[in-house]
Structure 1
């Protein structure tokens, strides 16, 4: 298992991180915590002056009255699956004390501290919150987490248990090789490896349909029994689930909040949609059922949410959900189809909700009249894969328009947020036509063609870097009277796409050269280049904009 983990958590996948322990932590934040691939970089602060904090993350409150939780991470990427003892934990336990009082946190900040850690403390506004009594009054909680490729020895396990007993359940969590290894295995090569699961329920709490070996049983199951099922912790229980665990979003936060409102547990059965479990065989007894070789194909998010609540001692006996158990012995294709069909109800997002509204339908009609060879896609549509001609999706268009016309690349990277009410109205305003969309798409195509001019390090996070380049091209166009006409009159500009691409070539190369300047300067000054974070910061992007404009002006002067 160690070899597999080492293969997955590598420097090649780290996008610029230099330290092995940071690489392991980045892999964890992406694959276990579920942070966006790019966002995960922002929370890693590992360095010589990190004071025992390798990453810092503020979990938002999961309900109206729930507290925020500051998670302090430490990572130990061992050279082999060696034992991890108490000495590897004392520093992490001590580090937590810095974040419980304003005096201790200010004392930390007064000394030598990694710039990244200092930035995160400021970003989370921790000094103000502590001064306002957020920790003492319970509005802010702290927990610690050790991520290691080693294996805890007995003394270390006892220290974790005693720390949680002194603080609270779930205060100190450890992911060692025994937990990370199976998770890495599940990500790499999915297979059902879980033990049989048990669901205590009487005969009058379940309905049985069909005959063995392909029965369907609907049962009312307590959440406190579900969390005992094998394979939740390492996610192997969800091997046949087409979505596995979703990244943190509004729906997940609402689910967490609902579970923690204990007064609603008696009604949870009424408003929860239920779960689906496929298995090879069901054993029905008077007071329980047993599922052999099980997999939760629908309801992974609920199962994981129950486990999170159980770790915080928030579950009660009253919280029940309906679970549909389906026997699929000898019918592997049936198991796959149940998984696919029970998950086709993809969550409705903001993009879906605006698809039939006026601004989007106006663009659909505009494309049909003025750009008949281009299909403007307002929502996912599988039939478009066989359609002739070019397809431009409206979520691509939203990002490009936001970066070029709204001049907000720091917002443009937040793809789905662009369709929220105020942002959608700003981006797809009444002046936007199909020609505007075609123009910004042409900028993207030219930027893609100049990719080789961008430093290799920046290409590792190409979607982010590309958005920065597109923004800079737009800014160069604005700085030149002749080129500005392309933005002001996109209908004329897009009448000849070949000529348009030629006009965009030099601005694209200027943008690429500007990023190379940044990269070379950082290398000469021996500075860590945290471009994954910087390229989403407004101040950094405005500085790059100014430099790109200056470079373009200089190039024009030299040509003259």
Structure 2
């Protein structure tokens, strides 16, 4: 990415297009994009962090990292003029804003003074005052789609605990996964302070050595991701692994010990050009295992000392593509892997994959592994299917923010049941798509497009359908509906009910100014209570055709064979 790609008009049209329903203006969309793509939060965590509204006290987002025990206060300053700059005034004002968060008492005072309910809710939900009082560090993150001028850069050195992400810094930190990867060019490894283990295996030569982290960060392609073209996982974001790496990097006393508990990185090159006691020169290279390490190092570059060294396995492939692929596959297989990867060969997942292909006449692919190719088919990710089943079948929409449990703790509960078939997965997937379309009937768009809202609404729809025996039969007969080519009729029912409930939901929350959907949607009590009210309202409303309207809607499909 180049800095001018963040110019207002171009950035709004391209990168921010997917964020239009989650935030009403450019600034709100920009903050969410930044938190997901630069700070690499999940979408739901990015939305949780945002407090941008009137009377926000100069704060646009608050993110609490409980692993690093750090509170990040984010302020955004956006410019509509192309290639604009900003000066030191905005940074000075932001420094003053940060002082509101440097003690428990000041945070409590801020809570009492502000009229921004989002800010108040976030302070409460994150236990912010208590955590700052317990010793959490408070850091300011100033972000802008414009460039910092010389005055801004000069004042930054005098202001403690502010990290600046202007257009240039954001462009340098953005990993563009669509660019062509692999680095065509030369690089040298500094081995002046390391022994080298040599190993030759037929056509390939390998070297194992310790290289200074600062030397490794001079490799091209870290910022745009092109260095990691063949790395299976790329940089996975703000994960526990990355947090742990960054925490170790920040502790300078641990730098000498880094090679003792770090797995190192694997680098493939076309040719080792020359070797001396001081350096190894290579040409045309790619990192196949180590994206998380290098991106974490880059993020903490100012804190890296000469003592921090990384174990490097360098392999010369002489352009053998097949050998490169085998090395990439096998080296990544030895990494710590996700529960989803472990379950990918589970007989339940393999069965569902085959069944989805059959019932969809091979037009839909049920994805069970990272990196699968599907030849243009519609894809149902098995984690996504698990979340839908969790909300619709197990009636637990409040747990759908815990995606990591789907293929782990909850796998058997969600998937390990006789009635969970490929037909159910496809039918429920279509129902969920219909509910997503109905979200636009909710007036509060930030609430509507908050990640958990769609799971709550589909839970409400299913709860309503299950009040009628015909509805229960229908939900249990996805195979018959698909076989009879009645899936459009089925989704029309879902769409009609979802829009009705969405309208009633508007009335339920419109007068509640303290309504904190980021908290309530994770509460079983709230979800059950509001769903029950919506169901009751639908069934008693005199404007409905009659009390058994659901039965009328479902009866023709419930008996489909």
Bin for the TM-score computed over the shorter chain: 0.7 to 0.9
Instruction: Tell whether the 8 Å contact from 2:438 to 2:495 is kept in structure 1 after alignment.
Output: no
Q: Runs of 5+ in structure 2 lacking a partner?
A: 550-561
- CA deviation after TM superposition for structure 1 residue 444, in Å: 3.2
Cα displacement (A) at 1:198: 4.5
Matched, 1:49 2:55: yes
Higher mean displacement: 23-32 or 228-237:
228-237
Contact preservation (8 Å) 2:266, 2:289: yes
Q: Quote how far apart the aligned CAs of 1:34 are.
A: 1.0
2-side partners of 1:260 and 1:452: how far apart? Answer: 45
Instruction: Provide the residue aligned with 2:499 in structure 1.
Output: 512
Note the C-alpha offset of 1:143: 0.9
Shift of 1:245: 1.6
Aligned to 2:240: 250
| Residues 1:420 and 2:408 aligned together | yes
Deviation at 1:142, TM superposition (A): 1.0
Aligned twin of 1:40: 46
Q: Does structure 2 retain, via aligned residues, the 8 Å contact 1:83–1:150?
A: yes
Mapping for residues 390-469 of structure 1, pairs under 5 Å = 395-421=383-409, 423-424=410-411, 426-427=413-414, 432-434=417-419, 438-439=423-424, 441-448=426-433, 453-455=438-440, 466-469=454-457
In structure 1, what is the Cα distance between the partners aligned to 2:355 and 2:493? 28
Shift of 1:289: 3.1
Deviation at 1:241, TM superposition (A): 4.5
CA distance in 1, matches of 2:265, 2:168: 28
Report deviation, 1:209: 5.7
1:106 aligns with 2:108: yes
Summarize the alignment of residues 58-73 of structure 1 with structure 2, pairs less than 5 Å apart. Answer: 58-62=64-68, 68-73=69-74
Q: Where do residues 49-448 of structure 1 align in structure 2 (5 Å cutoff)? A: 49-62=55-68, 68-78=69-79, 79-130=81-132, 133-135=133-135, 140-164=136-160, 171-183=161-173, 186=176, 189-190=179-180, 197-202=187-192, 205-208=195-198, 216-227=206-217, 232=222, 237-238=227-228, 241=231, 243-256=233-246, 268-279=258-269, 282-291=273-282, 294-312=285-303, 317=307, 319-326=308-315, 342-343=331-332, 347-353=336-342, 360=348, 379-380=368-369, 395-421=383-409, 423-424=410-411, 426-427=413-414, 432-434=417-419, 438-439=423-424, 441-448=426-433
Residue 105 of structure 1: how far off its partner (Å): 0.8
Cα shift at 1:473: 2.2
Cα distance in 2 for residues equivalent to 1:378 and 1:191:
24
- Aligned to 1:205, the other structure's residue is in SS state coil
- For the Cα contact (< 8 Å) 2:340–2:369, is it kept in 1? no
Alpha-carbon spacing, 1:294–1:186, altered in 2? closer, same or farther (3 Å) = farther
Instruction: Find the counterpart in structure 1 of residue 20 from structure 2.
Output: 15
Q: TM-score, normalised by structure 2?
A: 0.76
SS of 1:301's partner is helix
Paired residue for 2:37, among 31, 40, 61? Answer: 31
| Residues 477, 507 of structure 1: 8 Å contact kept | no
Greater CA deviation, 294-303 or 222-231? 222-231
Q: Compute the RMSD of aligned alpha carbons.
A: 4.8
TM-score (normalizing by structure 1): 0.76
In 2, Cα distance between equivalents of 1:88 and 1:472 = 46
Distance 1:545 1:251, change over 3 A: farther
Deviation of 1:247 (Å): 1.8
Deviation at 1:25?
Answer: 1.9
| C-alpha distance after superposition, 1:78-116 (max 9, x if no partner) | 223233211010122112212221111111111124222
**Gap change, CA 1:85 and 1:343, over 3 Å in 2:** same
Aligned counterparts of 2:311 and 2:93: Cα–Cα separation in 1: 44
Give secondary structure in 2 for the equivalent of 1:142: strand
Task: Work out the number of aligned pairs and report it.
Answer: 529
Report the 3-state secondary structure (helix = DSSP H, G, I; strand = E; otherwise coil) of the residue aligned with 1:163: coil
The 1:355–1:341 alpha-carbon spacing in structure 2 relative to 1, beyond 3 Å, is closer
SS in 1 for 2:313: strand
Q: Report the alpha carbon displacement of residue 496 of structure 1 after superposing the two structures with TM.
A: 5.7
Instruction: Give the direction of change, closer, same or farther, for the CA distance of 1:152–1:123 in structure 2 (3 Å limit).
Output: same
Q: Confirm or deny: 8 A CA contact 1:183 1:235 kept in the other structure.
A: no
The 8 Å contact of residues 230 and 237 in structure 1, kept in 2 or not, is answered as yes
Give 1:174 deviation, angstroms. 1.0
User: 1:470: which partner in 2?
Assistant: 458
Cα gap change, 1:292/1:436 in structure 2, threshold over 3 Å: closer, same or farther? closer
* Aligned partners of 1:473 and 1:508 also within 8 Å: no
The separation in 1 between residues aligned to 2:204 and 2:478, in whole angstroms, is: 63
2:6 aligns with 5
The DSSP-based 3-state class of the residue aligned with 1:557 is coil
In 2, Cα distance between equivalents of 1:356 and 1:162: 55
